[in-house]
Amino acid sequence: MNGHSPVKITRLLFLCLTLLPTVRLALAQGERGAFNGIVTDQTGAIVPGAEIVAANRDTGVESKTFTTDAGVYRLSYLPPGNYRITVSLSGFKSIVADNVTLHVGQTLTIDFKLEVGQVSEQVTVTSEAPLIESSTAEVTRYVSKTEFDTWPVPVSDGQRQIQQFIFSSLPGTVGGTFQGSINGGQYYSHEILVEGIPLGRFDLQGGSNNEFSPSADAVSEFKLQTGTMSAQYTGGLTSVANFAVKSGTNELHGSAFSYIQNDALRANHFNDNAINRRRPPFKLFNWGYAVGGPVYIPKVYDGRNKTFFFTNLEVTRVRDFSPGGFITLPAPRFKQGDFSQLLDPAFTGNAKSGQVIGTDAVGRPIVFGQIYDPRTTRQVGDAVVRDSFEGNIIPQSMWSPVSRKILEQAPIDNPLFPTMLNNTPSFSSCCPVFDERIYAFKGDHIINSRHRVSGYYNQTYRKRNNSPGGRWGPPPGTATDVYQLQSTPGRLARLAEDWTISNRLINHFAIGYNRFGNYNESVFVDQDWPSKIGLQNVAPTHFPQLFFDGLPILGGGIGAPSGTSGRLGSGNRGFSYNGSWITQDDLSYVQGKHNFRLGFELRKYYFNNVGKSGSGDFRFNPIQTQLPGFIDSTGHAFASFLLGAVESTSRGINVMNFGYRVGQAGFYLMDDWKVGRKLTLNLGLRWEVISGYDEVRSREAMVDLTKPNSGAGDRPGALVWAEDLGSKGFQDRYWDMVAPRFGFAYAVSQKVVVRGGYGITNLPFITNGFSFPDTFGYNGSISLSPTNVPLRFIQDPVLYLQDRYPDFAGTLPNKNPAGKNGQGGSYIARDSNRVGYGQNYNLGAQLELPRSMVLEVSYIGNKGTRLEANGLDQLDQLPVSFLALGDKLLQPLSANPGLAPLPYPGFTSTLAQALRKYPQYNGISQIFANFGTSHYDSMQVTLTRHLTNGLALLGAYTWSKAIVTGSESAIDAQGSQDVYNRRLERSLTSYHIPHFVKVTWIYDLPIGKAKWMNIDNRVLNFLIGGWTVTGNHNYRSGNPLSVVTSGFRTAIFNGTFRPDVVQGVPQILNNDAKVGVGSGGPGDPYLNPAAFSQ
């Protein structure tokens, strides 16, 4: 790790914290906004050449400009904060707007009217900022620092999530901080800015801040930007969440906090009460502090009005052992080789256990639950027989020495209950143990009146025992447990410089660095467990994964659930780092009534992956210890494990690691044209140039749909490799992402503004879901199964655990064009880097009401195009018309020779496979399948009162409709009935909530010194004075229902089937149906099954 250690940083911050008792508590704010307006005289004539000075009341830093010949002024790139604005010109009285609050990224319009007089005479025209914005078409929602700190946002996923308020309180939002939709956009599609620069992860958008974020205590305020945004923003699909970080002021100020939860202090959950279950163990301790002020070294340097610092620390510790269900662990006697309990129906829960169910070919009785010795397998007549273990006990002398070592050195926990199945409670939390530390530092420096710089650095240390469902026992447990230790270190760095070239020309330059690591490995990785337990010729990477297949009564499902199997041990290994370098430059020029902005943004994304060879996955099945022919009644998967009898096994061979790169350059021109005192036009154009998805050493593979496949009779469709084509990847540079913006704001009066506009925003070209181009041929694997290992009997093991694992017989890299025949392939279209974009449009009005309230009513809509739509990309589906062939599709081609020609020599599959365009593959998917669309319409109403005289209120109502074709999420797949008719997939989204009301409020209780209920006693005032209460209330429509069907084979290789609607049959039986809770039984029927048919 570079830089200071956490211990040194903690000591430094603790030293600063010890100074806090001597100072008052307050903090300034960060990130940039702008003041603009028109200056006139008493007759309404414009006043050119007037000097405008905005002084930050907390830092004393001044910014200066002059009105143009049209009387227009603009002060750009100002940190949010509290300002005093002075306007002066010879022959006129100076005029002052004091105590004006500028929010993050805000363009605040304040017009001035000068009176004739002496400059020395001063007129104060206002002590508050305007409550409505009259110069932008953008729809914005601001939250101040005081409100941000006070709103009810609990600790979640390690910290107070900085996006939580967006989804709990603002209109147009559904979901949560990790997976949420804003204005109907796909999950993971909005953009997050920290200090004006995108968060910039390569693996995730939108929800990317949950693991990679500043502390909430470091955030000064935020703004959610939607509708018609400025061209300086790429904008994601529908919105930008813009967060500013605090800065220091002229006085040393700070704060400290703690947030504690303990199961002893918690009310029980509604569901737990419903089933009489006690509240589960839970401990959470979150604490931190923040310090900011001037850089001041006595007798050495006085940084007041010039140099400022801010730093903070947040620490979280969580221990969550909430139960989440039950898993099966082997009974103690099983681990001694004694399976006699399998013959006891009271233990197994099956009445057949121990009963004679037949005789074998030798005439011996066959008992339900009996265990057989695979070493005795032999042919008797037409039958295959084995000898059973006497008493259903496997002598330890017959155990595999590897299995014995496993039970000695990585003992499997005993079940909690004396039953065979579901005998151990599992935890519901992914991460029973969670620890996080966040450190941050920010500095601001005024070089001179023309140059200002600021820098920000944030470091996150985050570790948790992440693991799959079905985890049990306190971590780390033994090596047969399934715990992983996930470490996700993150770094954010920002550097910005503002250069006032002249009174009308200002340049803002910024550079940002984002780096997110993900080590999600077994807690026992790289400890050479194979040597400890006697596995031969495998990598020393991890404890082997042991899978248990078959029916539960026959040992299937032991351990953590893994598909239809159970698993002991974790094979997680390897790590990755991803992030971006982002450079921005924005040049602002004021001329007449125009404020021109010309700028560019360059994003360089990277993803580096480090893999490790596997130590082996071993599958155990009842087949190896059952009597052939009695597959549902004899044998046991754990008995097969004790014998070391492996049903199948595989392990990965990793010799190469991969690095991916994407470049995205944006250029924009913006004109904020103040046509008059009432009308402002926002006109802009953004142009993006997007590179392909490249691998650093050209190690990408795909199916070329036209290349002859030598392994399939030269049919088209064979593998190609980018490095053989002399390219880093398979995509062309995309030049045509043009995004116009047009908006207007019209001030009907000082208290009413109408705004509207249209603009195109686009997504960054990132993986967003952990999918990458194919790298087939560069790494390999070894796989043993009954299909590729010669066996005397199909029930024989392919390997015993103590046997030497086979060597890798292949050659790497393997560039066989037919290497994926019989498997699935992938294709990358040359233009698949045409990123998704949204057409956003809005029209609304803002009205200032009495008591510092603002009412806003807006229509907000958008249409998404070229969205990620995994599942609509299957190139090898058969047309629906082929269903007319019925069950013949599932029969061998040889049984229906007249219905399709033989695709190529040696083809032995079904008629359906023969009819595919590329019958040599099991399917061809497309990487970056940009076929999805979305559509959103809404009416959004907000009633806002920012914290004034101890009361804040935010009421939000959304009436909306959200429709999608394809994936609702940018990272997930959606099955398709017919890829040739994608409109069939057009439907309401799962996050379509037609009506949503949110009410959030803050109220300072009028109790305490100098309040309505005055308390002079210091002790009483400390105990009961100065309290604030706050609340958040959500009222909403229910979720859309989806009706699905199952049990069908996809004979035409489509992704899903859906039932038909039976005409004339009511679909809803009871609109007032009760809902079942917990184990209290099902609720009343709501839908009518007879209304749907298969």
Give the DSSP letter string of 938-991.
Answer: EEEEEEEEEEETTEEEEEEEEEEEEEEES-SBTTS----S-TT-GGGGEEE-TT
Q: What is the pLDDT of the chain when averaged over all its residues?
A: 89
What is the reported pLDDT for 1016? 82
b/e map of 201-234 (b: 16 or more CB within 10 Å)? bbbbbbbbbbbbbbbbbbbbbbbbbbbbbbbbbb
Question: Is 697 a domain residue?
Answer: no
Find out whether 78 and 500 touch, Cβ atoms under 8 Å.
no
Find out whether 316 and 158 touch, Cβ atoms under 8 Å.
yes
From the list 569, 458, 523, the residue with the least C-alpha distance to 197 is 458
Q: How confident is the model at residue 558 (pLDDT cuts 50, 70, 90)?
A: very high
From the list 476, 465, 477, the residue with the least C-alpha distance to 434 is 465
Q: 3-class SS at 272?
A: helix
Other beta carbons within 10 angstroms of residue 337's beta carbon come to 21
What's the average model confidence in pLDDT over 424-437?
89
Q: Tell me, what CATH number does 104's domain have?
A: 2.60.40.1120
Distance CA 278, CA 466 (A): 25
- Burial category of 625 from C-beta neighbours within 10 Å (exposed 0-12, middle 13-18, buried 19 and up): buried
What is the reported pLDDT for 20? 32
Indicate the number of domains in the chain: 3
pLDDT at 581 over 50: yes
What is the reported pLDDT for 1083? 65
Find out whether 301 and 295 touch, Cβ atoms under 8 Å.
yes
Find out whether 571 and 617 touch, Cβ atoms under 8 Å.
yes
Alpha-helical (H) ranges within 130-230 are 145-150, 164-169
C-alpha dist (Å) from residue 631 to 184, 351, 800: 51, 17, 21
Cα 1054 from chain centroid? 28
C-alpha dist (Å) from residue 183 to 123, 238, 857: 44, 6, 15
What is the reported pLDDT for 936? 97
What's the average model confidence in pLDDT over 951-969?
92
From the list 597, 577, 576, 594, the residue with the least C-alpha distance to 585 is 597
**Which region, left, alpha or beta, applies to residue 206 given φ > 0 means left and ψ of -120 to 50 means alpha?**
left
**pLDDT, greater one: 210 or 315:** 315
If you count them, how many residues does the chain have? 1094
- What single DSSP character describes residue 46? B
Query: CA 836, 837, 842 angle in degrees (round to 5)?
Result: 155
In the chain, % of residues over pLDDT 90: 65
Q: Which residues pair with 582 in a beta bridge?
A: 512, 603
| Residue 105 CA neighbour count, 13 Å, CB half | 28
pLDDT in tens, 517-528: 999 999 999 999
pLDDT in tens, 748-805: 998 999 999 999 999 999 988 767 899 999 999 999 999 999 999 999 999 999 999 9
What is the reported pLDDT for 193? 93
Q: What is the pTM of this model?
A: 0.89
What is the reported pLDDT for 274? 60
Q: How confident is the model at residue 514 (pLDDT cuts 50, 70, 90)?
A: very high
What's the average model confidence in pLDDT over 464-485?
92
The last residue of one of the domains, among 894, 915, 936, is 915
Distance CA 489, CA 393 (A): 50
Find out whether 876 and 1053 touch, Cβ atoms under 8 Å.
yes
From the list 292, 307, 193, 245, the residue with the least C-alpha distance to 30 is 245
C-alpha dist (Å) from residue 744 to 229, 233, 386, 863: 11, 17, 85, 20
What's the average model confidence in pLDDT over 355-377?
95
pLDDT at 119 over 70: no
Q: How confident is the model at residue 122 (pLDDT cuts 50, 70, 90)?
A: low
Q: How confident is the model at residue 857 (pLDDT cuts 50, 70, 90)?
A: very high
Q: How confident is the model at residue 327 (pLDDT cuts 50, 70, 90)?
A: very high
Question: Is 52 a domain residue?
Answer: yes
What is the reported pLDDT for 272? 62
What's the average model confidence in pLDDT over 278-295?
90
Q: Which backbone phi and psi does 140 adopt, to 5 degrees? A: -125, 150
What's the average model confidence in pLDDT over 191-199?
93
Token pair recorded at residue 911: 């008629």
The letter for the amino acid at 449 is S
* Locus of tokens 């908006």: 743
What's the average model confidence in pLDDT over 722-743?
96
Of 148-157, 223-232, 325-334, 909-918, least confident by mean pLDDT is 148-157
Pairing verdict, β 191-194 and 239-245: parallel
pLDDT in tens, 1009-1036: 888 888 888 888 888 888 889 999 999 9
The last residue of one of the domains, among 100, 130, 160, is 130
Question: Is 898 a domain residue?
Answer: yes
Question: Is 41 a domain residue?
Answer: yes
Q: How confident is the model at residue 968 (pLDDT cuts 50, 70, 90)?
A: confident
pLDDT at 160 over 90: no
| Residue 806 CA neighbour count, 13 Å, CB half | 17
Question: Is 572 a domain residue?
Answer: no
pLDDT at 476 over 60: yes
Q: Domain range holding 82?
A: 33-130
pLDDT in tens, 8-48: 333 333 333 333 333 333 333 335 788 888 999 888 888 99
- What single DSSP character describes residue 820? T
Q: How confident is the model at residue 205 (pLDDT cuts 50, 70, 90)?
A: confident
What is the reported pLDDT for 1047? 65
* Locus of tokens 């998917």: 925
pLDDT in tens, 49-97: 999 999 998 888 888 999 988 888 988 888 888 899 999 998 888 899 8
Question: Is 144 a domain residue?
Answer: no
pLDDT at 976 over 70: yes
Q: Which backbone phi and psi does 563 adopt, to 5 degrees? A: 65, -125
What is the reported pLDDT for 1082? 58
Token pair recorded at residue 1045: 């069907």
Question: Is 911 a domain residue?
Answer: yes
pLDDT at 1079 over 50: no
Question: Is 69 a domain residue?
Answer: yes
- Measured between its terminal Cα atoms, the distance across the chain in Å is 59
